[in-house]
Structure 1
Amino acid sequence: MHLSIGILSSLLATTAVATSNSRFFKRQGYNSTDYVLKQGPLDTPWTEKVGTDPWPEYPRPQLARSEWKNLNGVWRYQNATGFSELNAPPFGKELELPVLVPFCLESALSGVMGNHTIYSWYRTTFDVPSSWTAGNRVLLNFGAVDWNATVFVNGHQVFNHVGGYFSFSVDVTDQLSTNGTNELYEILFVFDPTDMEGYNIPLGKQRLVPSHIFYTPCSGIWQTVWLESAPANHITQLDVSADMYGKVNVTVHGSGNTSSIVQVTIYEPHSTVAKVTAKGRANEPFIFDVDDFDLWSPDSPTLYNMTVKMDGDTVQSYTGFRTISSGEVDGVPRPLLNGDFVFMFGTLDQGYWPDGLHTPPSREAMVYDLEVLKSVGYNMLRKHIKIEPALFYQACDEMGIMLIQDMPALVDGYHIPGNVCHDTDDVKDEASQKEFERELALLIEQHRNYPSIVTWMIYNEGWGQERKKEYPEFRLTDMVKSLDPTRLVDSVSGWHDHGAGDFHDNHHYSSPQCGTPFYSTASTPYNPSQDRRIAIQGEFGGIGNNITEEHAWKVKASIDAVNGTYELDDTIEIWNYRAHHILKELEEQITLFACSGAVWTQTTDVEGEVNGMMTYDRRLIRMDKDQWKDDIQALYDAAEKRGNSTMRMMARGDDLDVL
């Protein structure tokens, strides 16, 4: 039964009904009301497996400590009315509802499945393990809270953090009680306006009122919360890069102002045998060389474990040796991995889940997506205006999946609900622009160690891109490169390209226009004699296949939007037929023109979008795997021939010569 023309009222009636599967949780004497998994519009094969101990893995693999405690599980939650409640927090009171952390309040897995959860209170209790090192400090860590979080511990306000995609850490030692039981209140008061009138924050695809390509928002805690033990002078951040020549550049940031001696040991792969040990000073960069190593690449994603010591602190990390650059190959600007042209082909990866929204139900579920894509030959993903938990990037590092990492977009004038004039002055105030730039810097600072990330992307299709007062992408490209000179920058993907950055990036559905002299109104033609940037197809494909009700996001507005898909193919067989011909067209553009990479829309269906490699519930893979493997390999083969070609590429008159 196809659902594009409507949906049964009986299906809609089930979306807000809780299942009979009650979950119970109690942490160290804290009496929690029964948690009940909600029945959302759609689930996944992992939904029922989550239980009340979600995401038990250590959440920060590039700065890992041995003494830690996971605080995920059932907390208490209640709605708040506004910032005025910060003046009288509900200390010592039982909050109204159970909530499963780390799933955002709008998700079924949270047990709340709220709507317009703009202001919220959270509460939990914890004990510090007596086995932890005496005299150490206790750090409270958050993977991410959307968007503005104020932390209280035992009645004391200790921290405020702004930025819905970024981790933060709080030293709570001085607020701990001596009897062992501690109340984290709120652990937060959370304010998340999403696209509420009067606010313009980095939010990506989130909307209070979802509509086709914009989705259900994610408010509150949505990544792991944990405690850990560390000395007073402890490591707060590692900046590590290792290039194709064996040069390792390290900065170990410490909580103190002193230049303590630090020691870095790199081990042989899958071994405890030390390969090299180097020393430097905290808060200062130092460089050392490593001999006889294997490079990181999609075909051979070799990683090297590291131990870093500073005073009494020891953390575990890892790195990979690789160099990302741009250069001309037979006169064509190309992306280079370890000095070689590698054609980058991946999906537009939204990172949404029907049961957890921004948060996958488990690491197993998250890795499943990557395994499906890798199995047919994708070597890249474009992480589309969303930032993932650290374990996602570790998985890409381990599996050899290159990443184009987007900065989550502001809301622009075109996409503000009710704006019928389509105002193009996208940034309404300087404060919004400054917040976007501050969070862009956080993106770079917190993610620059992952070998899998090869490119930073600043703007998507002009969303939140100021164009009247200035073209900020030039200034922001310089900022990004100053923070991280080791990667490429795609300054503007799709629209309003003024020439900044390393890429000429075209969007066109369904057929590609990759590095071609023909173009659509939203993009510009690629002229190799004038534009010496790398030509890629930042988005294309997007062909859809309608679904049966068992795989559908059972929300009427989403179902009604299905026919807005760029192209709908009646059967999976026709969908694969169309995909084959579109990929053959891309192959021709690699052969004839200057195409160096492409991004197919998309990994999975999302709510009202039905154009994924898989359905939203991950239960159906649309791809004919043998066909897709052959077609993707043909892209790489065409690129390899171009990389080895001795022809000079030019366009002359009406001739369709090799570019």
Structure 2
Amino acid sequence: MKIYTFIALLWLAIPSFAQWHPVGHHVMTDFAQQVNPQLPWPEYPRPQMERKAWMNLNGLWHYALTDVLDDRFPPHWDGQILVPFAIESALSGVGKNVRADQALWYEKKFMIPASWKNKHILLHFDAVDWQAEVYVNRQLVGTHEGGYDAFSFDITSYLKPDSNELMVRVWDPTDAGYQPRGKQVEHPEGIWYTAVTGIWQTVWLEPVPETHIVSLKYFPDIDRKICDVETQLSHIHANDRVRVIVYDRGKEIAHAEAVAGENIRLQIPSPHLWSPDDPFLYDVTVQLWQNGKQTDEVHSYMGMRQISVERDAAGIPRIMLNHHFLFQLGFLDQGWWPDGLYTPPTDSAIRFDLYQVKAFGYNLLRKHVKVEPQRWYYWCDKLGILVWQDMPSGDLNEQRRNDHGEIIRSAQSALDFQEELKAMIDQHFNHPSIIMWVPFNEGWGQFQTIAIDNWVKKYDPTRLVDGASGWFDFAGAGDVEDMHKYPGPGIPEDKHDHRARVLGEYGGLGLPIEGHTWQPKQNWGYVSFPDTNALRKAYIDLINQLPDLIRQGLCAAVYTQLTDVEVEVNGFMTYDRKILKLMSPETVKANHSLYEVSIRE
């Protein structure tokens, strides 16, 4: 892969990389030592649609904090910040909190390679929390609101032939606003964590032709042995055509083409189905042809799988993967890091977490009120981990609930939620690992539940919908009925509708490990234990209660949680990822025994 970096352009780069170092006094993972301040996160950021040429803009930038009412460019810079780590994080090298009455500015200089001449230059931000104004050479290029979705601008007309200046102004009200924010608060405590402000995923440049492939969507149908492909292009011309080629381990097994703008249907002979035990992925090449000449090409992949709710032989609704009941056993995964907060220190840090999930005998992660970088889902696709994807919560005003437990939102709050929900679905549509969308958790910002559930189901018919995970259930809404019970376990009441029953949260067994906690004292779990032996015994006692619940109709159980997070110490492993508190031959054996039960059902 051809990647341009600024290593050869040190005269333009911010000097003194050696001056950068993590800040703060909290624990950190070993992966923090692998962070390269010259180019953190060097991996290609969009594995689902890969082009050869790109430029990574991660690294040391200038930053400044200003009054939010002052819309002038900063007269001076406060120092350096390591992008893509949020300013509050240790790995940013800053470690400052940002108030709702402050704006955060970034600045970076860059040059465009001569080989990109006559190309359109796209500037990509994979995530900025929350409101971003983007300037190139002090001209406003565009704005974006939303802390979890990628966005881009065509900056071609703003560029100079030599050095260019990129500036970004960010405003993030955190819990003073109604925007989706997950568990971020200005003053962390308990289950609410440190705020994340500004750029927290990769920033990069990409050269493309004027007419180019913008996005892809795959619609696999394992019963009909087909996959429909929907493509979106920019600046379409009458004779433009799109060609899609599918490969099985390097061998072409299908191809089709159509006029640009039309869907393409691929016949997949004897489809090799994707599952946690066999996470097979087809390689895909998508080409744009204009007047007999190929002008654009992206490399992608897809998985052939189907998720549904079907009744078993006893008439019980079950979640079926490829028409087979597989009990889903997983962790609640909040995706926080002691050193990077929202941002994993490295790509290998992501892999480490996911490898532990598989090694423990689990097949599921519920990604809890956070959306991850695209490479996280890529590794779930590759390793075979099922994902329930939460929509990050927001607008948590408890004083505005109706008689059904729903929040009464303003029109703008509702619109922002719906736009960010749609963006989340669009961006992660092609990941076979994602099998369920979860719009609401425990009533946090929950509103218009039935309408939201119905819209999600119509917009993405390839996945299930868990409309209300915990607390305020609406009979018949979504595909599953979801209860939370601590320490549990339990099973939702059978409401005799079409829905499968799941245990969306349980467990929460706590154990602080000295030297591995966010703070020395005042840590907590839902239930506390004196040592790992007692913790593991209690865990096995919980697991041993699940077989009877599976026979009654339970289809999934989500244990809280994968890691300790700040003062919560109920993780499978410590926050610094150094101690696997629950890992033992006995606990792994107990986990695997549950799949035997599901096979018999």
TM over 0.5: yes
Distance verdict in 2 for CA 1:25–1:435, change over 3 Å: farther
Residue 203 in 1 paired to residue 181 in 2? yes
Task: Show the counterpart of 1:442.
Answer: 423
Task: State which of 567, 570, 575 in structure 1 corresponds to 2:535.
Answer: 575
Does residue 1:491 correspond to 2:478, yes or no?
no
Alpha carbons of structure 1 residues 478 and 27: separation in structure 2 relative to 1, 3 Å? farther
Matched, 1:461 2:442: yes
For residues 40 and 222 of structure 1, what CA distance do their matches in structure 2 show?
Answer: 21
Cα RMSD (Å) of the superposition?
2.0
Return the alpha-carbon distance in structure 2 between the equivalents of residues 431 and 353 of structure 1: 32
2:599 is the alignment partner of 1:621: no
- In structure 1, C-alpha distance between the alignment counterparts of 2:150 and 2:390, rounded to whole Å: 17
Counterparts of 2:353 and 2:257 in 1: how far apart (Å)?
Answer: 40
**Residue in structure 1 matched with residue 316 of structure 2 by the alignment:** 332
Which residues of structure 2 form unaligned runs of 5+? 1-6, 290-294
Q: Which residue of 1 aligns with 2:4?
A: none
TM-score normalised per structure 1: 0.85
Counterpart contact for 1:223–1:389, Cα < 8 Å: yes
Render the CA deviation track for 1:330-355: whole Å, top value 9, x for unaligned. Answer: 20001111111111111000000000
> SS at 1:610's partner residue?
coil
Counterpart code for 2:148: Y
CA distance in 1, matches of 2:131, 2:556: 37
Tell me if the contact between 1:414 and 1:424 (Cα under 8 Å) persists in the aligned partners. Answer: no
- Specify the alignment match of 2:29 in structure 1: 44
Whether the 8 Å contact between 1:251 and 1:282 is mirrored in structure 2 is: no
In structure 1, what is the Cα distance between the partners aligned to 2:25 and 2:435? 36
- CA deviations on 1:114-168 (whole Å, 9 max, x unpaired) are 1125410000011111233x32111111110000111000111001011000001
| Of 503, 518, 521, the match for 1:553 | 518
* Deviation at residue 424 of structure 1 after TM alignment: 6.2
Distance 1:382 1:540 in 2: 12
Shift in alpha-carbon separation, 1:27–1:204, aligned structure 2, 3 A: farther
Q: 1:373 aligns with which of 342, 346, 357?
A: 357
Superposed, which structure 2 residues align to 1:36-435 within 5 Å? 36-52=21-37, 53-85=39-71, 88-90=72-74, 94-118=76-100, 119-132=103-116, 134-178=117-161, 180-184=162-166, 186=167, 188-196=168-176, 199-245=177-223, 246-258=225-237, 260-269=240-249, 271=250, 273-311=251-289, 312-330=295-313, 331-414=315-398, 426-435=407-416
User: Is the 2:484–2:503 Cα contact (8 Å) retained in structure 1?
Assistant: yes
- Give the Cα separation in 2 of the matches to 1:159 and 1:64: 24
User: Which letter maps to 1:638?
Assistant: V
| Distance in 2 separating the partners of 1:161 and 1:147 | 8
Give 3-state SS (helix, strand or coil) of 2:217's partner: strand
Q: 1:220 to 1:25 in 2, by over 3 A?
A: farther
Contact 2:232 2:261 in 1 (8 A): yes
Closer/same/farther in 2, CA of residues 540 and 183 from structure 1, 3 Å limit: same
> Secondary structure, in 3 states, of the residue corresponding to 1:361?
coil
Cα shift readout 1:573-620 (whole Å, capped 9, x = no counterpart): 0000000001111122113x1101110000000001001110000000
SS of corresponding position for 1:36: coil
Partner secondary structure for residue 141 of structure 2? strand
Distance across 2 between alignment mates of 1:584 and 1:258: 62
Matched residue SS, 1:294: coil
In 2, the alpha carbon distance for the partners of 1:163 and 1:609 equals 27
Residue matched to 2:500: 534
Residues 1:452 and 2:433 aligned together: yes
Match of 2:480 in 1: 503
**Residues of 2 paired with 1:445 and 1:69: CA distance?**
24
Give the Cα–Cα distance (whole angstroms) in 1 for the partners of residues 69 and 233 of structure 2.
34
SS at the partner of 1:195?
helix
| Distance across 2 between alignment mates of 1:321 and 1:514 | 31
Contact 1:27 1:126 in 2 (8 A): no
Give the whole-Å Cα distance in 2 for the aligned partners of 1:428 and 1:337.
36
Choose from 428, 439, 455 the match for 1:479: 455
Change (3 A) 1:27 1:83: farther
2:354 counterpart SS class: helix
- Greater than 4 Å deviation, 4+ residue runs: 24-28
CA distance in 2, matches of 1:482, 1:491: 13
- Give the fraction of aligned pairs with identical amino acids, expressed as a percent: 39
- What do the CA deviations read for 1:296-354 (whole angstroms, capped 9, x no partner)? 00000000111111141111110011111111012000111111111111100000000
Contact 2:14 2:60 in 1 (8 A): no
Quote the residue 1:3 is aligned against.
Answer: none
Q: What amino acid sits opposite 1:37 in the alignment?
A: P
Which amino acid in structure 2 is aligned with residue 212 of structure 1? Answer: G
Contact 2:377 2:433 in 1 (8 A): yes
Checking the alignment, whether the CA contact within 8 Å between 1:348 and 1:384 is kept in structure 2 is yes
Task: Specify whether residues 237 and 300 from structure 1 end up closer, same or farther in structure 2 by C-alpha distance, changes over 3 A only.
Answer: same
Q: Tell me how far apart the structure 2 counterparts of residues 283 and 629 of structure 1 sit (CA, whole Å).
A: 49
Cα–Cα, structure 1 residues 454 and 447, in superposed 2: closer, same or farther, change >3 Å?
Answer: same
* Aligned counterparts of 1:140 and 1:94: Cα–Cα separation in 2: 25
Question: Is the Cα–Cα contact under 8 Å of residues 227 and 267 in structure 2 kept in the other structure?
Answer: yes
Contact 1:75 1:124 (C-alpha < 8 Å) held by counterparts: yes
Alpha carbons 2:311, 2:318 under 8 Å: kept: yes
Q: Distance in 2 between matches of 1:488 and 1:455?
A: 5
- Deviation string for 1:219-249 (max 9, x for gaps)? 1000001111100011111111323243111
Whether the 8 Å CA contact 1:105–1:117 is kept in 2: the answer is no
Residues 403-412 or 427-436, more deviating: 427-436
Q: Which amino acid aligns with 1:98?
A: Q
How far apart, in 2, do the equivalents of 1:358 and 1:113 lie?
14
Residues 265 and 357 of structure 1: CA distance in aligned 2, closer, same or farther (over 3 Å): same
Deviation track 1:25-62 (CA, whole Å, cap 9, x = no partner) reads 98442344642321341211111220212110000011
Q: Is 1:609 the equivalent of 2:586?
A: no
Deviation for aligned residue 1:211: 1.3
**Greater CA drift, 244-253 or 63-72:** 244-253
- Unaligned runs of 5+ residues in structure 1 are 1-23, 467-471, 516-524, 643-659
Contact 2:133 2:143 in 1 (8 A): yes
SS in 1 for 2:467: strand
Q: Indicate conservation of the 8 Å contact 1:77/1:99, yes or no.
A: yes
